[in-house]
A and B are shown apart, each in its own frame.
Chain A
Amino acid sequence: ETGVTQSPTHLIKTRGQQVTLRCSSQSGHNTVSWYQQALGQGPQFIFQYYREEENGRGNFPPRFSGLHFPNYSSELNVNALELDDSALYLCASSRDRVEGYTFGSGTRLTVV
């Protein structure tokens, strides 16, 4: 069983709306990353947090934002949803590089 849980599992939103996706990672995993995976593609890096600080960002616009809390929970917020935002959103956490990253099962977002 994965140590990373994501909610909700599925979500349908209308273009222009805002959405918040949630992730709960394992205790001690201070690095949390979010990825977007379009159908038939590999995951694309959105941003990463070390503890509560953002320490890396991919090629995504500012309407993609996040928060990471001391209790190892995280949020991905997307404003002004576009049809192309429809994808599987993955949260991944790591204690350190030696162990690699553990991914959650993802939230499948559909924008209509």
Chain B
Amino acid sequence: QKEVEQDPGPLSVPEGAIVSLNCTYSNSAFQYFMWYRQYSRKGPELLMYTYSSGNKEDGRFTAQVDKSSKYISLFIRDSQPSDSATYLCALESSGDKLTFGTGTRLAVRP
């Protein structure tokens, strides 16, 4: 079993839709939770960073962490074609190494 599971998609939604991206994990040692966005032929770009259970909001993005269920989510409101990218969840234990999911490819149709 992988430490981090993420649905690879692809996920295709119309412009303006609410997008839900999810990861599950098995290692309780993970303490820090991140979401990265990666455009084609580019490096990952940090979107959200959190370390506690609950919700964290930044503009159209909301990160949700449920440590008891070992489940994290990223919600994108009012999705735009420019949001089309691969979204990676990344988890970190105290050792500073990031463990990534496989990434979910998102396409937002105009």
Contact A56 B43 (CB under 8 A): no
Q: Which of B8, B34, B97, B98 contacts A40 (CB 8 A)?
A: B8
Contact B96 A100 (CB under 8 A): no
> Which residues of chain B have C-beta atoms less than 8 A from A74's C-beta?
none
Contact A100 B46 (CB under 8 A): yes
- Interface residue B78 (Cβ < 8 Å from any Cβ of A): no
Contact A43 B44 (CB under 8 A): yes
Contact A105 to B97, CB < 8 A, known contacts A41-B103, A42-B103, A97-B32: no
Please report the number of residue pairs spanning A and B whose Cβ atoms sit closer than 8 angstroms: 66
Contact A42 B43 (CB under 8 A): no
Interface of B (DSSP majority class): strand
- Interface residue B99 (Cβ < 8 Å from any Cβ of A): yes
- Taking CB as reference atom, which chain A residue is nearest B43? A103
Contact A48 to B96, CB < 8 A, known contacts A42-B101, A100-B34: yes
Q: Which of B32, B34, B97, B102 contacts A58 (CB 8 A)?
A: B97
User: In the complex, A108→B44 CA distance in Å?
Assistant: 14
Q: Which B positions have Cβ atoms within 8 angstroms of A?
A: 4, 6, 8, 32, 34, 36, 41-46, 49, 88, 90, 92, 95-103
Known: A42-B90, A43-B44. 20 other contacts (CB 8 A): A4-B43, A33-B96, A33-B98, A42-B100, A42-B101, A43-B88, A45-B99, A48-B96, A55-B96, A58-B97, A94-B96, A99-B49, A100-B46, A101-B46, A101-B98, A102-B46, A103-B46, A105-B41, A106-B42, A108-B41
Q: Could you give 22 example pairs across A and B, Cβ below 8 Å?
A: A2-B45, A33-B98, A41-B103, A42-B6, A42-B101, A43-B44, A43-B88, A45-B97, A48-B97, A55-B96, A58-B97, A92-B98, A97-B32, A97-B96, A99-B49, A100-B34, A100-B49, A101-B34, A101-B98, A103-B45, A104-B43, A105-B43
